Amino acid sequence: MIKWRGIAFKLHPLFVLLMLLALAMGEWLGVVTLFGIVLLHELGHLAMALRFGWTIREVKLLPFGGVLEVEEAGTVPAKEEALVAIAGPAQNAWLAVAAYLAGLLGWVDTAWSHDFIKANALILLFNLLPIMPLDGGKLVQAWMSLRIPYHRVLLWSSRLSLFFSAAVVLYSFVPLLQGGVLQMNALAVGLFLCASNWTYRKNVPFVFLRFLVHRARRSEGRIDRGTLAQPIVVAEQRQPSDVVKLLMKERYHLVYVIKQGKVQKVVPEDQLVDRFLHTLTNGHADLRFFM
């Protein structure tokens, strides 16, 4: 582990395993190249996150990219999340272009340039799969958060991630049907993504709770700047635990409580969230409700 400006840089055990396997096969140049590509990919994410003032706890490098552990996860604007996500693949794009030009001008060996371009293209395209924590998964999640309530965003992104993670595992067996050998790299990565997203699915209630805890601070900022409120209309008997599931990440809400066709009261979302967190603290609500 290496620390820089309070940020820990770590190699994931899966990356270490694949690197050791490659070294055992004498592919040391490939290991160095892959490490450099992955590091630059993740530095793209890191630079953009720091530009937005995010607090980064850890950078974990994986064979296909990496993961930023940030304090603000799930609480920052969708636009920032999307830009941080796309900053990684953008590094692979310019690296591929640079390698192509270097090979064209004769500055590097053409075969090496071709392999380098192929590696960057593979990492770029793989990271755009709609799987958490890949960049494509984060982009899909940011896009969904502009259109549907955030609780539903978390549930659907976890379901999509599990589905496509399983598809990666199945893809690793395709060569066997064609008389080839099992794609061990794809199998290892696919199983890792399945396990990661199964854990993420179980942690949805806690991710949503963190979203609610930070909600009041973001709401105050919107009110100070002036914002159009999006109404949520509910019947009087609806519980706070039902209503908070209707909150959209990129909107400020006023909750209209209806009884017998008439508005009984209008509740700002801040009061709604405070009431729910109070009931949760006093043991009158259960996080399993958000599964």
Give 96-120 pLDDT, tens digit per residue: 999 999 988 888 888 889 989 999 9
Residue 108 lies in a domain: yes
Residue 195 lies in a domain: no
Give the lowest-confidence range in 9-23, 67-81, 96-110.
9-23
Percent of the chain residues past pLDDT 70, beyond the cut: 86
Single residue among 111, 128, 145 that ends a domain in this structure:
128
Whether the per-residue pLDDT at 161 is higher than 90: the answer is: yes
pLDDT in tens, 40-54: 998 899 999 999 988
Of 79-83, 102-106, 248-252, give the range with the top mean pLDDT. Answer: 79-83
Provide the pLDDT for residue 90: 95
Average pLDDT, the chain: 84
Q: pLDDT tier at 219 (50, 70, 90 boundaries)?
A: low
pTM of the entire structure?
Answer: 0.86
Residue 205 lies in a domain: no
Whether the per-residue pLDDT at 227 is higher than 90: the answer is: no
Residue 191 lies in a domain: no
Q: Which amino acid is at 108?
A: V
Distances in Å between the Cα of 25 and the Cα atoms of 15, 18, 33, 57, 127 are 16, 11, 15, 35, 26
Q: Is residue 124 domain-shared with residue 232, that is, in the same domain?
A: no
Beta bridge partners of 2: 9
Tokens 């067996």 locate to 173
Single residue among 128, 143, 168 that ends a domain in this structure:
128
Single residue among 128, 145, 164 that ends a domain in this structure:
128
Average pLDDT over residues 77-101: 94
How deeply is 62 buried, as exposed, middle or buried, from its count of CB atoms within 10 A (0-12, 13-18, 19+)?
Answer: buried
Q: pLDDT tier at 222 (50, 70, 90 boundaries)?
A: low
Would you say 164 and 156 are in contact if contact means Cβ atoms under 8 Å apart? no
**Helix residue spans in the chain (DSSP H):** 13-24, 28-51, 78-104, 110-127, 135-145, 150-171, 174-177, 184-202, 204-225, 240-243, 269-281
Would you say 245 and 273 are in contact if contact means Cβ atoms under 8 Å apart? no
Q: pLDDT tier at 88 (50, 70, 90 boundaries)?
A: very high
Give the lowest-confidence range in 89-93, 218-222, 271-275.
218-222
Residue 183 lies in a domain: no
Q: Which domain holds residue 121?
A: 1-128
Residue 154 lies in a domain: no
Distances in Å between the Cα of 69 and the Cα atoms of 10, 49, 72 are 11, 11, 9
Residue 11's φ and ψ, nearest 5 degrees, are -95, 125
CB under 8 Å to 206, separation ≥6 — which residues?
Answer: 287
Residue 163 lies in a domain: no
Whether the per-residue pLDDT at 177 is higher than 70: the answer is: yes
Residue 45 lies in a domain: yes
Provide the pLDDT for residue 284: 56
Provide the pLDDT for residue 238: 82
Q: pLDDT tier at 291 (50, 70, 90 boundaries)?
A: very low
Among the listed residues 83, 85, 89, 73, the one whose alpha carbon sits nearest the alpha carbon of residue 137:
85
pLDDT in tens, 199-215: 999 999 988 988 888 87
For the chain, what is the domain count?
Answer: 2
- Rounded to the nearest angstrom, the gap between the alpha carbon of residue 217 and the centroid of all alpha carbons in its chain is 22
Provide the pLDDT for residue 120: 93
